């Protein structure tokens, strides 16, 4: 994995070492575009009635926690933490939130990273995904803070590669961009952030020639973080609106619109979500003096979808309803500096609700470490750290390794 550094004023441990998968919206919409050009042999074995027209939606909701290495290790409990550039995918208030160590009028943070993803059942729909040639993920983000204000942009993209019929690899690309503006109030006790999230997908060859149309959509989000007395407690809340593709199918002939024999959905949708979070961080743990300790917890509520199926249904051309009811996910995480200034350990867990009838929910166990490695004096004084993270559940395993800055 290739990582770019970030300034050491912000606390987001993984802003400079984001090495995970970012949005389930990325994965599933990109897979949808891939379905439009692959042969029928890639279709899954779903037992359901056949798709006979375009009167259905493709739901791209998120299942596993996707984010930075630190976010994943903490079980996704980041709404009430909201630190640094990578917080934009959890709580837009993080764009303006400052820790006590950020004392200058102007501050900034950035992230850059790449990684790969493999899973036996990423969607938790009871089916194995198609055998992609490769599945790469990249991220790039930048934020600046001036006084009580903060402005940031975070882009994450997925590139799925499959051998094309002509012998040239087809690449299916989705780009998700979040833009957030925030401000602190009440002597930095309250932070508010608002933002927009835009998605765009396309199919290209290795020569970057576009060969299919685009699907795009825009939604909005708002978040808040309250740090009473600027003490150890933080309480957060975040809401993200639903997103649907702006394009409509041109079905003037009466027959279903198809691409390579696949009857495509009328639109791609992502349901609305609302989350609550809290965190508690101290420099001296009550059970271990002089050792920094953090604990965080989130509740994430996700709305239902109407007349929707998942990616595997599009590939199989059979109906397997998804998101037929509202769901809630519980997320917990903790971080302890077991060797002050040298080693941190993280552990977490989260409940991934089932979005498919007849498929059980699953509980994830997460964890990892961060160890300070060496010091450099190029472009400022920096201590570097190595971070490792694991997220494990039934038919799912995500292992992350990252190199970035160590923050005291």
- Per-domain boundaries in the chain: 15-405
DSSP per position, 250-311: ---SSSPPEETTEE--SEEEE--EEEEEEEEEESSBTTBTTS-EEEEEEEEEE---SSEE-H
Query: Mind listing the pLDDT tens digit for each residue in 126-139?
Result: 876 555 667 677 88
Question: Cα(263)–Cα(58) distance, rounded to whole angstroms?
Answer: 12
Percentage above 90 pLDDT, the chain: 46
Query: Mind listing the pLDDT tens digit for each residue in 213-228?
Result: 466 789 999 999 999 9
Query: Mind listing the pLDDT tens digit for each residue in 138-197?
Result: 888 899 999 999 999 998 877 766 655 455 565 666 678 899 999 999 999 999 999 998
Q: Coil, strand or helix: which one is 75?
A: coil
Mean pLDDT of the chain: 81
Query: Which position has the token pair 């042969």?
Result: 39
Cβ-based neighbour number of residue 282 at 10 Å? 14
Query: Which position has the token pair 């998120």?
Result: 62
Query: Mind listing the pLDDT tens digit for each residue in 267-322?
Result: 878 899 999 999 999 999 999 999 999 999 999 999 999 999 987 777 678 899 99
Radius of gyration of the chain (CA): 21
Asked if residues 12 and 109 have their Cβ atoms less than 8 Å apart, the reply is yes
Q: Which residues contact 3 (CB under 8 A, 6 or more apart)?
A: 16, 17, 18, 19, 112, 113, 402, 403, 404
Span 15-405 CATH architecture: Beta Barrel (2.40)
Which of the four pLDDT bands, split at 50, 70 and 90, describes residue 251?
low
Question: Cα(318)–Cα(263) distance, rounded to whole angstroms?
Answer: 10
Query: Taking 60 as the threshold, does the pLDDT of residue 206 lie above it?
Result: no
- Please state which of the ranges 5-9, 71-75, 384-388, 390-394 shows the lowest mean pLDDT: 5-9
pTM here is 0.83
Residue 127: per-residue pLDDT: 75
Mean pLDDT score, 348-375: 95
């Amino acid at each position: 994995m290739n990582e770019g550094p970030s300034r050491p004023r912000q606390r987001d441990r993984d802003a400079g070492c984001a090495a995970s998968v970012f949005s389930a919206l990325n994965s599933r919409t990109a897979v949808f575009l891939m379905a439009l050009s692959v042969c029928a042999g890639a279709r899954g074995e779903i037992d359901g009635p056949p798709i006979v027209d375009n009167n259905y939606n493709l739901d791209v909701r998120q299942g596993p926690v996707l984010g930075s290495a630190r976010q994943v290790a903490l079980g996704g409990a980041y709404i009430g933490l909201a630190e640094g550039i990578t917080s934009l995918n959890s709580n837009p208030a993080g764009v303006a939130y400052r820790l006590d160590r950020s004392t200058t009028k102007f501050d900034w943070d950035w992230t850059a990273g790449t990684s790969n993803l493999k899973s036996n059942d990423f969607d938790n729909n009871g089916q194995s995904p198609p055998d992609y040639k490769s599945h790469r993920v990249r991220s790039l983000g930048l934020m600046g803070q001036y006084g009580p204000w903060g402005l940031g942009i975070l882009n994450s993209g997925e590139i799925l590669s499959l051998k094309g019929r002509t012998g040239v690899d087809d690449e299916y690309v989705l780009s998700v961009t979040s833009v957030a503006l925030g401000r602190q109030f009440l002597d930095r006790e309250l932070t508010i952030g608002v933002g927009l999230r835009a998605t765009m997908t396309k199919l290209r060859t290795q020569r970057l020639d576009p060969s299919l149309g685009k699907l795009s959509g825009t939604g909005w989000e708002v978040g808040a973080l309250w740090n009473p007395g600027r003490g150890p407690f933080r309480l957060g809340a975040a809401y993200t609106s639903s997103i649907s593709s702006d394009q409509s199918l041109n079905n003037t002939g009466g027959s279903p619109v198809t691409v390579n024999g696949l009857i495509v959905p009328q639109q791609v949708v992502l349901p609305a979500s609302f989350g609550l979070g809290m965190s508690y961080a101290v420099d001296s743990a009550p059970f271990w003096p002089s050792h920094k300790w953090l604990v965080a917890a989130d509740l994430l509520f996700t709305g239902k979808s109407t007349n929707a199926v998942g990616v595997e249904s599009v590939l199989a051309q059979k109906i397997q309803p998804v998101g037929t009811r509202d769901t809630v996910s519980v997320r917990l995480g903790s971080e302890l500096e077991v060797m002050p200034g040298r080693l941190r350990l993280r552990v977490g867990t989260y409940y991934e609700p089932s979005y498919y009838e007849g498929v059980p929910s699953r509980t994830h166990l997460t964890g990892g470490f961060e160890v300070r490695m060496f010091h450099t004096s190029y472009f400022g004084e920096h201590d570097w750290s190595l971070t490792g993270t694991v997220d494990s559940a039934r038919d799912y395993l995500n292992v992350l390794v990252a190199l970035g800055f160590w923050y005291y």
